[in-house]
Amino acid sequence: MKTLVPAVAVWGRTAPSHSITAVMITDDQRTIVTGSQEGQICLWDLSSDLQISSKEILFGHTASVTCLAKARE
The DSSP output letter for 67 is -
More confident residue, 34 or 11: 34
pTM passes above 0.85? no
Task: Give residue 1's pLDDT.
Answer: 61
Task: Give residue 57's pLDDT.
Answer: 86
The predicted-structure confidence for 24-64, as pLDDT tens digits, reads as follows: 999 888 999 999 988 989 999 988 887 888 888 888 888 99
CB 35 within 8 A of CB 21: yes
All residues at 6 or more sequence positions from 44 whose CB lies less than 8 Å from its CB, including other chains? 10, 31, 32, 33, 34, 52, 53, 54, 55
Q: Where are the domains of the chain?
A: 20-59
H-only helix segments in 1-73: none
Amino acid at 44: W
The predicted-structure confidence for 55-68, as pLDDT tens digits, reads as follows: 888 888 889 999 99
